[in-house]
């Protein structure tokens, strides 16, 4: 059977494309392969920020300007493959924030959600929803979307933490809002520990409450609890070949992830344990809370010490080897991908 055989010249095609352009039309067949790769190829690169190298610069920023002046005194962790875009992975923002003794980072709120992983200092607090929480090393802290939040440091040492925000995701949806509070600090209406007592003690209020919409009502998951749970869990079962011992931070209201756009979890890799390769479609930001370990990410290998931050781009093989008992905090857009039916993982052979 004869099939249609258009015999256009390259010049004729180009002429056609030139006439499409003024009509804001374009030929799909010229770009289809780029739109639909056979598998994801992240634009982000594997990378590690050594806290020992970043810390002196962070402290120098403390001499340069006040937290109030800066609004948030943060050194953005820029993925080397995405310069100037304020992105650690393709969809996640990360930064190192410093607050000096006596300072206040003034109250504001925004539709992007924020999380913090505490790195240094014992006397910083954050206030959310009229309640304060003291932020200690290894604590996982949440600022829900559109919740007023301010931070302060009432001790005598600098305090620093890792910030994670879903800014690139929100920017993609063009759904970002921001508002300043009419005072430096929000008014405190609840005693410290209220949220943890009501929602973080394996009990829940009789009356259904949702203080922050889709976000967990617990806004500080203390490291002390997380660490104890991981260590106890490691006693009951051998570590998973790919995950080691991993528990995710959950929303007690529905058992889902703690936040609607950013998934967070902590992995305990016991000293000497080596995980088998795994890759997933979410790009991951990780910070070592405690221990010492090697992270192999794609063709890179990073020796992580405490407070170092590393990035594993989406669909990139990763594996860990612990030199000491290691507690690795991780966050990614996995929860968003899961809701959209996009998230996948692949597990390599366990040797």
Residues at the contact surface with ligand 1HN, assessed by CB under 6 A: 72, 74, 95, 97, 105, 110, 114, 143, 149, 151, 163, 165, 167
Give me the least distance between CB of 82 and ligand 1HN, in Å please. Answer: 16
Name the residue nearer to ligand 1HN (CB basis): 143 or 145: 143
Give me the least distance between CB of 63 and ligand 1HN, in Å please. Answer: 20
Name the residue nearer to ligand 1HN (CB basis): 152 or 200: 152
Question: In sequence order, what DSSP letters do the residues of 283-320 get, joined into one string?
Answer: -EEEEEEES-EEEEETTEEEEE-TT-EEEE-TT--EEE
Q: Among all chains, which residue has been given the structure tokens 């992580």?
A: 304
Token pair, residue 191, equals 């005693």
Residue nearest to ligand 1HN (CB): 72
Q: CA–CA separation, 251 vs 320, rounded Å?
A: 27
Q: Determine which helix (DSSP H) or strand (DSSP E) holds 48, and give its type and residue range.
A: strand 47-49
Give me the least distance between CB of 89 and ligand 1HN, in Å please. Answer: 15
Task: Tell which residue, 89, 113, 144, has the closest CA to residue 313.
Answer: 89
Question: In sequence order, what DSSP letters do the residues of 2-44 get, joined into one string?
Answer: --------HHHHHHHHHHHGGGT---GGGTHHHHS-SS---SS
Name the residue nearer to ligand 1HN (CB basis): 19 or 180: 180
Q: CA–CA separation, 18 vs 24, rounded Å?
A: 10
Give me the least distance between CB of 263 and ligand 1HN, in Å please. Answer: 19
Residues 166 and 146: beta-carbon distance below 8 Å = no
Rg (CA), the chain: 23
**Terminal CA-to-CA distance of the chain, rounded, Å?**
55
Name the residue nearer to ligand 1HN (CB basis): 77 or 167: 167
Name the residue nearer to ligand 1HN (CB basis): 159 or 253: 159
Name the residue nearer to ligand 1HN (CB basis): 125 or 302: 125
Give me the least distance between CB of 40 and ligand 1HN, in Å please. Answer: 26
Give me the least distance between CB of 164 and ligand 1HN, in Å please. Answer: 9
């Amino acid at each position: 059977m004869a099939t249609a055989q258009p015999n256009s010249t390259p010049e004729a095609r180009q002429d056609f494309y030139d006439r499409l352009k003024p009509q804001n039309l374009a030929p799909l067949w010229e770009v289809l392969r780029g739109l639909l790769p056979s598998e994801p190829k992240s634009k982000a690169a594997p990378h590690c920020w050594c806290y020992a190298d970043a810390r002196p610069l962070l402290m120098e920023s403390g001499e340069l300007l006040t937290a109030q002046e800066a609004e948030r005194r943060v050194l953005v962790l820029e993925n080397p493959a995405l310069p100037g875009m304020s992105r650690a992975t393709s969809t996640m923002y990360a930064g190192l924030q410093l607050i000096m003794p006596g300072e206040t980072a003034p109250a504001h709120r925004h539709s992007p959600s924020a999380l913090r992983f505490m790195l240094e200092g014992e006397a910083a607090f954050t206030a959310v929803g009229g309640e304060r929480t003291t932020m200690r090393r290894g604590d996982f802290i949440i600022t829900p979307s559109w919740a007023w939040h301010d931070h302060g440091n009432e001790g005598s040492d600098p305090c620093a933490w890792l910030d994670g925000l879903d800014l690139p995701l929100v920017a993609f949806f063009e759904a970002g809002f921001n508002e300043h509070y009419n005072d430096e600090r929000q008014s405190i209406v609840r005693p410290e520990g209220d949220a943890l007592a009501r929602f973080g003690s394996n009990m829940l209020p009789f009356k259904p409450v949702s203080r922050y919409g889709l976000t967990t009502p617990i806004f500080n998951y203390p490291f002390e609890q997380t660490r104890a749970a991981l260590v106890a869990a490691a006693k009951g079962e051998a570590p998973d070949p790919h995950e080691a011992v991993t528990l995710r931070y959950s929303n007690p209201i529905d058992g889902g992830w703690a936040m609607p756009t950013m998934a967070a979890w902590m992995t305990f890799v016991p000293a000497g344990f080596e995980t088998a390769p795994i890759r997933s479609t979410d790009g991951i930001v990780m910070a070592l809370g405690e221990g010492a370990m090697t992270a192999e990410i794609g063709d890179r290998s990073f020796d992580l010490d405490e407070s170092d931050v590393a990035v594993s781009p989406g669909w990139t093989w990763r594996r860990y080897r612990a030199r000491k008992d290691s507690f690795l905090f991780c966050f990614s857009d996995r929860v968003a991908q899961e809701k959209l039916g996009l998230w996948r993982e692949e597990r390599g052979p366990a040797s």
